[in-house]
Structure 1
Amino acid sequence: MASDSTGSDHEGPSRGMDMVGKALARVRARSAQGGGAPVPVRSTRSRSARPMRRGGWSSPRPDSRDPQALGSLANQIAKQRGWSGPISGGSVIGHWARIVGPDIAEHATPVRLENGVLSIEAVSTAWATQLRYMQSQVLARIAASVGHGVVTTLRIHGPAVADWRKGKRHVQGRGPRDTFG
């Protein structure tokens, strides 16, 4: 086939190579003049925050530049800012049924956690007594779930009782009793 000035199938690759050759010649001419040296671009990030590997590419091993799970990033932030204790305490109250089981969770409710003391309110005095007997087992379950040292002591209360005091004046003692018998 004869080549014409419009270009044919055979001229496409050679024409592309000619363009590459011309571009390379221009770059060489600029560098020979001294004004074509590339200016290094500096990053705004500090070098100590993220060490770069030779060549700047990632390796098959885990790297700080790899995508991270959201949960692990949240845990890192919580540890850095000292929020681990309050988050663990909140998880004790939030996941109470999962930690102690459905039977205990049905009859006892955590009220507050302050300085390692978890206050628990039972639905009856019988359940409060039973929980006092099981105190070491409940503490072990909490420690296994959220970690040691989050809850150190349990303060178990029965249901709130009615106050028999009425008015400003009252008599010391046990209050009204039945008078039969």
Structure 2
Amino acid sequence: MTEDDPLAGRSGYEMARKALEDARAEAKAAGKSVGMGRSAPMRPRRSGDRSRRSWSGAGPDSRDPQPLGRLTGKIAKSRGWEPKVAEGTVFGMWPTIVGEDIASHATPERMADGVLHIRAESTAWATQLRYMQGQIIAKIAAAIGHGVVKSLRIVGPQAPSWRKGPRHVSGRGPRDTYG
């Protein structure tokens, strides 16, 4: 260091302080406002979009990372996948929606045009579910949304087939088997 250097013999802190003061003086001379470490928040732009700002406040912003569920919901909505997503939700959350007792005795098979097809394990359960049809639709509407399932088609178990082999005689089938 030379002897005519004004920073000679000063500590790093003093040198940084002097550099900051010089920078502020130059900015003030140029007509720029300088705050104490923070820049003043910018005003909204005067163009048509007043909600768009160039700074983010303390709250959540559209530029912040979004939860995956919200993003997938937006994608499904924009591409028209909502009916299939709702259908998958009904099938995937069936025990949660109707309860474990009903879910253990009845399973959803398919959904077409707002009609949910349900297969019960016995004819007694099918009859009971037909009586509870309004309550089941209300539970589905509360969990997924209104209008996803408009009605239920409840059927009992599949009847056994007596048709064996490649050849078949038309008619009502075996009747004297049961006495």
**Alignment TM-score, normalising by the size of structure 1:** 0.69
Quick one: which of 114, 128, 153 aligns to 2:112? 114
Consecutive unaligned residues in structure 2, runs of 5 or more: 30-46
* C-alpha distance in 2 between matches for 1:15 and 1:115: 73
Q: Which residue does the alignment assign to 1:9?
A: 10
* C-alpha distance in 2 between matches for 1:122 and 1:11: 82
SS in 2 for 1:112: strand
* C-alpha distance in 1 between matches for 2:84 and 2:153: 19
- Asked if 1 retains the 8 angstrom alpha-carbon contact of 2:162 and 2:173, the reply is no
Quick one: which of 123, 126, 145 aligns to 2:124? 126
Q: Which residue does the alignment assign to 2:147?
A: 149
Residues 48 and 155 from structure 1, CA distance in 2 versus in 1: closer, same or farther, beyond 3 angstroms? farther
Deviation at 1:52, TM superposition (A): 3.4
Quick one: which of 75, 83, 86 aligns to 1:85? 83
Matched, 1:177 2:176: yes
Residues 142 and 15 from structure 1, CA distance in 2 versus in 1: closer, same or farther, beyond 3 angstroms? closer
Matches within 5 A, 1:157-168: 157-166=155-164, 167-168=166-167
* C-alpha distance in 2 between matches for 1:111 and 1:77: 27
- Which amino acid in the other structure matches residue 84 of structure 2? P
* C-alpha distance in 2 between matches for 1:18 and 1:137: 75
* C-alpha distance in 2 between matches for 1:179 and 1:67: 68
- Which amino acid in the other structure matches residue 167 of structure 2? K
Matches within 5 A, 1:63-82: 63-82=61-80
Matched, 1:52 2:47: no
Consecutive unaligned residues in structure 1, runs of 5 or more: 29-46
* C-alpha distance in 2 between matches for 1:163 and 1:157: 17
> How large is the RMSD of aligned CA atoms in angstroms?
3.5
- Which amino acid in the other structure matches residue 126 of structure 1? A
Shift >4 Å, 4+ stretches? 3-6, 18-22
* C-alpha distance in 1 between matches for 2:140 and 2:159: 29
* C-alpha distance in 1 between matches for 2:143 and 2:89: 9
Aligned residue pairs, count? 157
- Which amino acid in the other structure matches residue 175 of structure 2? P
Q: Cα deviations across residues 50-86 of structure 1 (Å, max 9, x unaligned)?
A: x632xx2123454322333222222222222222211
* C-alpha distance in 1 between matches for 2:48 and 2:173: 71
Deviation at 1:131, TM superposition (A): 0.9
